[in-house]
Structure 1
Amino acid sequence: MVTRTVPAVLLLLLVAAGCANNASENGAAAPAPSPSASDVVDLPAPTAKPTGPAGEPSGRPNPGATTITGTVTAGVEPNCLLVNDATGSHLLVFDDPAMRADAAVGSKVKISGRSEPGMMSTCQQGVPFVVTSVEKG
């Protein structure tokens, strides 16, 4: 039993000594080192959305976009909108509030965009579908 206690006590002393070295004279933690030029990572700039006259969203589908048609329903979580079609349930994700207004609950719509199955969501329903245009109908 003594042989197990001695290594544990020594480890505890080493950890305490290491923590004591990180404190300054007045007991406050030492400031973190500032990043060097080699620590900074350049990220790509965001791409601009296609715009129409006066900078308004064009509402035109992007090349390669998918189109789904159906009736908008409310999800089980607040502010979640879904459209069901033959391929399943689609969670509608809008970047443009005007397009969201065109997809009111109960309205029949034709929506273009792209499926994003890996996108995180709090809605817990449907495959996220990033909407690029909404047509009532």
Structure 2
Amino acid sequence: MPDESSTPYLDPSMGDSSKPGSSSLTTISGTVESGVESGCLVLEFEGTVYGIFGSFDASVVYAGAQVTLHGEVDAGMMSTCQQGTPFVVQEAETAD
């Protein structure tokens, strides 16, 4: 019988500490731009360029759109975009 104290448990209120660079919910806003690689999107916010990832509405988040994005930075994420700090979108809205 396995020892229950060795069973991994993740309390969602504490965030995922298993990923280096993970953080709590963050909000960024600005104009979405096309990345250097085809199909990649980036957004510059307060001097940092973020690569935009995750499940989001493509009618809201596209090159040229003014948006506010809520999500998390995932510095450990691997990507073919090769640009920006990975930002995983959880919610996106227009910033009109």
TM-score (norm 1): 0.50
Contact 1:94 1:100 survives alignment (8 Å): no
* Bigger helix share: 1
Q: How many residues align?
A: 73
More strand by share: 2
1:91 equivalent in structure 2: 51
The 4+ residue runs of structure 1 with deviation greater than 4 A are: none
Structure 1 regions of 5+ residues with no counterpart? Answer: 1-43, 45-63
Per the alignment, residue 76 of structure 2 pairs with 118
Distance (whole Å) between structure 1 residues aligned to residue 67 and residue 43 of structure 2: 9
1:135 aligns with 2:85: no
Pairwise mapping of residues 9-88 of structure 1 onto structure 2 (< 5 A)?
Answer: 64-88=24-48
Q: Which residue of 1 aligns with 2:16?
A: none
Q: Which residue of 2 aligns with 1:103?
A: 61
1:37-75 CA-partner distances (Å, limit 9, x unpaired): xxxxxxx8xxxxxxxxxxxxxxxxxxx410001000000
Higher relative contact order (CA 8 A, sep 6+): 2
Letter in 1 for 2:44: N
Structure 2: gaps (5+ residues)? 1-7, 9-23
Task: Please provide the CA RMSD for this pair.
Answer: 1.5
